[in-house]
Amino acid sequence: MSIQVTELKHFFWNLQNYITNSFSEVEDQAFLSDEWVKPVDSPLQGYGRTMIVENGHFFERAGVAFSHVSGQKLPPSATAQRPEIAGGSFEAMGVSLVFHPRNPKVPTVHMNVRCLVAQKEGIDPVWWFGGGMDLTPYYGNVEDCIHFHQTCKNVLDTFDEKYYPVFKKNCDAYFYLPHRQEPRGIGGIFFDDFSELGFEQSFNLTQSVGKSLVDAYLPIAKKNQAQSYTPEEKDFQEYRRGRYAEFNLVYDRGTHFGLQSGGRAESILMSMPPVARWQYQRRIEPGSPEYQLTDFFLRPRDWLTQ
């Protein structure tokens, strides 16, 4: 895997640069670059670079993390679907991002793309790709939802038209909070354990998904960045961010993998919103924009047949 690992690192490292450079336009400042290396006595070896904006003009928090790590034992979150490699060593690499805008009229976005290679004595090395992106609005906009999903579909259709409906369904199922009986947002695409196109084409698909984040989200950010908002709307954003935090801490496999494998907590938890709130009871006025979020936008639907 030496040549392929080099190719993977080159892409993921440059993808991080491409995304942060693109979004510096709306933030009007560069992302802070924080490079790190795991200590030699750590169970997880490797290095990474976290690029982040906190308390910015546009973003309250925006983090884009690159990591390349290896370990001697796969954590349970990585072997639940592949018990045959339990106990094996692994090498993982990828880019993950979460953008939490200041303005509640601009949705939060998440994206990650990654590759994992597992080795265990007695079996051939196992590799797979995973990733996707999803959008979490606080005040819904149909045009934004359509644009986001259409961009995802356009990218996947260049490989096979079967992928968008499958990956959308995966996303709807994955980003769901059972204890709230509601999705985290309006979805997008999600894939994991993906190797069916062979290494080169599976990697090409992963690259295309990663790069398309800019086309999917930057126009939405630019369109909505100047909208005015009230303190009450900001309060509602923070209330809904509580749902985001619940998903990341309770259900997200990436968070679990990172923490279970001894990853760098600061980089893993950068996906958390900087401010969130929980209320024991909160009445939402029927017919209000806040009510429409759960009554319309968070209902499962095909956004491309509106």
Cα 36 to Cα 256: distance, rounded to the nearest angstrom: 20
Amino acid at 260: Q
Which of the residues 10, 68, 100, 110 is marked catalytic?
110
DSSP 62-123: EEEEEEEEEESS--HHHHSS-GGGTT-EEEEEEEEEEEEESSTTS-EEEEEEEEEEEEETTE
Strand-by-strand arrangement of the 187-194 sheet: 32-37, 44-54, 59-71, 89-101, 108-120, 123-136, 187-194
Would you tell me how many other CB atoms lie within 10 Å of the CB of residue 299? 10
User: 214 exposed, middle or buried (CB, 10 Å; 0-12, 13-18, 19+)?
Assistant: middle
Residue with tokens 């990591």: 67
Cα pseudo-dihedral 117, 120, 125, 126, rounded to 10? -60
Element (H, E) at 191: strand 187-194
Instruction: List, in sequence order, every residue forming a beta bridge with 66; answer none if it has no partner.
Output: 49, 95
* Sign of torsion over alpha carbons 267, 269, 271, 274: negative
Query: How far is Cα 224 from Cα 301, in angstroms, rounded to an integer?
Result: 23
Amino acid identity for residue 279 in this structure: Q
| 68 belongs to the catalytic site | no
- Token duo for residue 161: 């038209």
Catalytic residue list: 110
